[in-house]
Amino acid sequence: MNTYDAKQALITDRDILVKELEEVGAVKNTKQKDKYSCIHCSSSDALGIFKDDKGGYRYKCFSCNETGNVIDVLMKKDNITFYQALELLCGKYSIPYEKAKVTT
């Protein structure tokens, strides 16, 4: 898979986003459907998951306004680049990904 296809495979899978949010500390609010504690601020129920107009899943905290997709979660958590996060997530979730070869 090329970069675009690998990214689409990751961001269109809601379960992958939920798993990664939970791995970095988001806790599902038992009283409100699809509300989580924010991974960026101290809010316990302001982070929601939604499908954007392009078919990908994103999170947004309605308290601190932080937003992103599953790749952003890893980039922010580990302070890594987009391509590093993409490669790690593809490996973790068995999504075939071949980095583009740079020619000189």
Among 78, 67, 77, 80, CA closest to 11: 67
Q: Please give the average pLDDT of every successive group of 10 residues along the chain, which has 104 residues.
A: 93 96 88 83 88 93 93 94 96 88 62
Spatial contact of 104 and 70, defined as CB atoms under 8 Å apart: no
Alpha-carbon distance of 92 to 81, in angstroms, equals: 17
Spatial contact of 80 and 74, defined as CB atoms under 8 Å apart: yes
